[in-house]
Amino acid sequence: MITAERAQRRISFGSRDSSLPGAFLPLKVVTIYLAGTFVLLLMSPYTSQVDNMPLLVLFLSCATGLFALGYKLSIVQRRRYDVYTNGSRDATPFVQSMIIVSSGWFILFSFASLANYGASSIGDIISAALNPSQSYFSKFDVYLEQQLTGQVSLPVQIAVLTGALYGVLIPVTIYYWRSINIALRFLAVFGALSYVAYFVFIGTQKGIGDVLIMSVAALAATVGLDATKQRMRKRLRRGLGVLAILLSLGFVVYLANTQGARIEGTSVAANFEPNPVVTSLFGENFSRGLAVAQFYPTNGYIGLSKDLGVPFVFSEGASVPALASYKVQYLGGVDPLTLSYPVRAEAITGWPAGQYWSTIYAWLASDLTFPGTVLFMGAFGWFTARMWIGIRYERDPLSLVLFCQAAIAVVYIPANNQLMTSRFTALGFLTLLVIYGARRLLGRGFFRKGKGTL
Where is pLDDT greater, at 103 or 244?
Answer: 103
The DSSP result for 377-433, as a single string, is HHHHHHHHHHHHHHHHHS--HHHHHHHHHHHHHHHTTTT--GGGTSHHHHHHHHHHH
Q: Over range 233-246, report the average pLDDT.
A: 69
CA distances in angstroms from 397 to 2, 84, 218, listed in the order given: 20, 8, 10
On the question of pLDDT at 8 being above 50, the answer is no
Q: Give me the pLDDT at residue 15, please.
A: 43
Compute CA 445 distance to the chain's CA centroid, rounded to the nearest angstrom. 26
Mean pLDDT of the chain, nearest integer: 84
Q: What is the pLDDT of residue 262?
A: 65
pLDDT at position 297 is 84
Band (446; pLDDT cuts 50, 70, 90) = very low
Instruction: Kindly tell me if the per-residue pLDDT of 113 is higher than 80.
Output: yes
User: 218, 404 in Cβ contact below 8 A?
Assistant: yes
pLDDT at 42 (0 to 100): 93
| Model confidence pLDDT, tens digit, residues 288-307 | 777 777 787 899 999 999 99
pLDDT in tens, 202-232: 888 888 889 999 999 999 998 867 655 555 5
Counting residues of the chain whose pLDDT is more than 90, the rounded percentage is 54
Alpha-carbon span 454 to 77, nearest angstrom: 26
Q: Give 320's pLDDT tier (boundaries 50, 70, 90).
A: very high
Residue 7 has a pLDDT of: 37
Residue 194 has pLDDT above 60, yes or no: yes
pLDDT at 98: 97
363 touches 382 (CB < 8 A): no
Mean pLDDT score, 395-410:
96
User: Positive or negative, the Cα torsion across 39, 41, 43, 48?
Assistant: negative
Give 64-107 pLDDT, tens digit per residue: 999 999 999 999 887 777 777 665 688 999 999 999 999 999 99
How high is the pLDDT of residue 442?
A: 81
pLDDT top residue among 6 and 34: 34
Given this model, what pLDDT does residue 104 score?
Answer: 97
Residue 85 per-residue DSSP state? S
C-alpha 48/C-alpha 77 separation (Å) is 43
Say yes or no to pLDDT of 241 above 60.
Answer: yes
Regarding predicted confidence, which is higher, 276 or 347? 347
pLDDT for the residue numbered 263: 65
Confidence of residue 453 (pLDDT cuts 50, 70, 90): very low
**What average pLDDT does the segment 125-146 reach?**
75
CA–CA separation, 167 vs 409, rounded Å?
13
Q: What is the mean pLDDT of residues 232-238?
A: 64
